[in-house]
Amino acid sequence: MTLRGIDRACAAAVLLALAGCANVEPWVKPYERQNFADIIMAPDRNPVATAYIDHVYEAREGARGASGSHGGGCGCN
Residues at the site binding another protein, with contacts judged by CB under 8 A: 7, 14, 18, 21-22, 29-34, 37-38, 71-72, 74-77
Distance of alpha carbon 51 from alpha carbon 64, whole angstroms: 12
In angstroms, what is the minimal distance from the CB of 34 to another protein? 5
Whether the CB-CB separation of 30 and 71 falls below 8 Å is answered with no
The Cα 36–Cα 40 span in angstroms is 9
Q: 1 vs 22, which CB is nearer to another protein?
A: 22
CB of 72 to another protein, least distance (A): 5
